[in-house]
Amino acid sequence: ERQQAELDYERHAMLSASRHISNSITSIDSVTDALDTRMQRIDGRIKDAVMRETEALRRSLQPEVASGDAADEGALQAVAASAANVPSISFLQEGSSSLRGH
C-alpha cells in the first residue's frame, strides 16, 4: 500500500512536470511565431527602403531621366534587381543559429 502511494505521488509529479513543460513549449512557440512575423515585416521594409534609396540615388545621378528629358536605359530594372539581391532576414537568422550550434 505504501509503495502504491509512492508510485501515485511520483506519477502525479511527472504529470505535473509534463504539463508545465508542455505549457512552456506552447509559450515558446507563440513567441517564436511572433518573432518570425515581425522579422518578415522588417525584411519587407528593408527591401522597400533599399529600393527607394537606390531609386533616389539613380534619380540624383540621372536628373535627365528623373525629369523625363531622357529615357531610362534599364536603370529601373537594375534598381529592382539590386533590391531583390538584399539578403533576407531569414538568411541572416540561419547564419546566426548555426553559430549557436542549432
Q: What is the pLDDT of residues 12-60, one digit of tens each?
A: 999 999 999 999 999 999 999 999 999 999 999 998 898 888 888 877 7
* pLDDT at position 73: 66
Instruction: Determine which helix (DSSP H) or strand (DSSP E) holds 85, and give its type and residue range.
Output: none
**Residue 75 and residue 62 in contact, taking contact as beta carbons nearer than 8 Å:** yes
Question: What predicted TM-score, i.e. pTM, was given to this entire model?
Answer: 0.50
- Quick check: 93 pLDDT over 70? no
Q: Which pLDDT does position 62 carry in this prediction? A: 75
Tell which wins on pLDDT, 6 or 61: 6
Q: What is the pLDDT of residues 54-92, one digit of tens each?
A: 888 877 777 777 676 766 666 666 666 666 666 655 555
User: Residue 63 has what pLDDT?
Assistant: 73
- Cell numbers for 95, please give them: 547564419
CA distances from 44 to 26, 29, 61, 97 (A): 27, 23, 26, 21
Q: State the pLDDT at residue 102.
A: 47
